[in-house]
Structure 1
Amino acid sequence: MQDPDILQRHPRLNRLITDLNARFLTPTGSSLQTDQDLYQARYHLKHKKEYLETKAIFEPIERLRFLPLDNHHHPAHAKHTLEASRTADLQKQVSHHIDRILSILDARRLIVTEASAPLGLASARASMTGSSSTDTSTVSMIELLAGHDPNKDLDGFTLEHLQPHLDALEGFSQPMYRTIEETISARAIDVAILHGNTLHPNTPPAAALERVLEETQKKVAALDRIQDDANLHDLAIQQEVRLLFDTLQKTILVLWEIVLEFKIRHQFEQNTTFQEYFSSLSESIILKLEILRVTLHDSVYDQEAVQKLSALRDTLESKERQLQVQTTQNATLLKQYQSAGPEFNMIVDAYADLMQRIDIVEDDIRRLE
């Protein structure tokens, strides 16, 4: 049975499991590879949306600045100087109103995009600083739109600033409107063809725009379905990953218990067997040494040597007994002399001094000889 407290008793195993979870799982339970794939898909979806917005809205309006207004208003190509001057003034007015419309739209887009940024308005202003003269008006529009009443809708406030320019453009002739519609329709058809549509170049502008809207809505719905499928697939993968790591954790715990059982039981039996083996080996070596000692004694001490040693032992014992008797006699005499009192010590000292002098005299005689 699996021990529930095994992770507390073995911190190294706990660190191993924690490291596996940190390396291969995200905080949501999904794998790192799946989380990275979802992040890349969201990133591409966001930039594709911005690309479509730029192609469908901002680029057609930007192209209005380069329309040949003189050809629409003056089929004779403005032969007279006065007509050419009026055409140039009209071109400047149109360009001015279009620049203002672009600045307002660009400012609104930056405000909406940077609304969640930490620096907010400062970040939007810094992103437009130093680009061109048009950006200066954009920065001023950012400040104007950012300072509107919070209780009012940003779109309505933006429309109020767009309305004067739209009214100014209202007085243009029908050929101008047709040119704008043709330009927008052509751009819409280009966008539709670019993204896999099969529109014919002669398709009416209204039908082309409607077709682009339908295709865009279909793509948005398809992207939503893909997002939902990705979320469901992500949840399924998370469940599979959790089951996989639960199984892996149980496998590691069982393997750990097997290792512990091997170390406790098998290692103990192995140590016991080795102890018995070395004990038997030690006893065998001791017996062999004893046999060697007996064999050595038997080869050295033969019967003749034993008889001689026995005779020598008897002789030594006899001399030992004689010496013991003599020692006893000397001890008895010594006691008799010691009982004589201090005079005996004086006699002994005088005798020793006399013997020393006799030795000295004999030594001198030998030297003289």
Structure 2
Amino acid sequence: MSPRPRKRANKPLPDNLYPANGGKSYQYRHPITGKYHGMGVSRAQAIAAAKELNAMLVPDNDLVAKVLGHVTVRQHAKWWLENIAPEREYKKSTLEMYQVQMRKLNAAMGDRAVEDVDVQDLAKLLEKHSARTANQIRQVAVDLFRVAVSRGLRPDNPAEATLKRKEKKARKRLTQEQYDAIHALCPRWAQNAMDLALITLQRRGDVARMKFENIKDGRLLVIQEKTEKYDTGYLAIAVGPKLDKVIKRCRDDLASPYLVHRRPERKIKEREGMDHWTQVKPQMITRAFAEARDESGLFDGVPENELPTFHEIRALGIKRYRDRGEDPQKLAGHATAKMTSNYDSGHEEIRWVEVHAE
């Protein structure tokens, strides 16, 4: 097996010698360990030292030694999943996103050596995808190559030099009239889920996990799924008249620990990810909302990627609070005001700012 061809810019240099700091200095990559070692700013001295090191570490007849020093993108991605991912305790959805985008990276450059991937290679890959997908691939690539630098597999992170694309929101915002029309077509349990989301601004998964036992001293305690590691994720929501009305409606003749619950078509004692036979999975809430939305006929002809989902109720709720002059940031569990504003943008109505001039 012959050695991999060098890049055109590096061809004048001996094997394993590379320019660093924008060409101002040089570094030698150990052919066995893969670690980089500074070789100073003198080109002549760096070349002489590299030739001497190659003679000692990579004899002409030692083809195996030439190969051992190279780690492919695929091998590094596998190492990352086995060693880095477990330490970070990613949620299932985040880890799945990483795995999906790693497959795209592996398909494009999995057999390339980590050290040989450059900005242009990554830029070409990102150009083939939508802004959202490209940004996810970039996020994963930045992480992968940052770890590669820490492992001594390369001196820099080419993914950081690529551009982050601007994502244009495709989904339509939900108006109050549309909400009311969809609400009327939903079964009672789904209506409860919609109203809880609208009043509390909680995500689908957090609404599905709300329990009666978490209502204490006039407050509904919620640990937000996405932000449970941060202070903004622990909410004690005061139960006002509107929320109290919804909670009372949730207390029907079906005994269940969950606010949002239903009687399934057939009773099953144990289901994957469920601890009670009346429990409603987040996907079921999404499906019930989508079925009522389509039945309403309000969005006939709208492309599928623009159809409002259950998540848009959160944006509508934020808009309602803002319309009343209230700040919904803490209730939404957002760490920054900008994040809350992202949900509030995209509505057609103009919010006039009241000011006084003498």
Shorter-normalised TM-score: what interval?
under 0.3
Report the structure number with the largest CA radius of gyration: 1
TM-score norm. by structure 2 comes to: 0.17
TM-score norm. by structure 1 comes to: 0.17
Instruction: Name the structure with the higher strand share.
Output: 2
Instruction: Name the structure with the higher helix share.
Output: 1
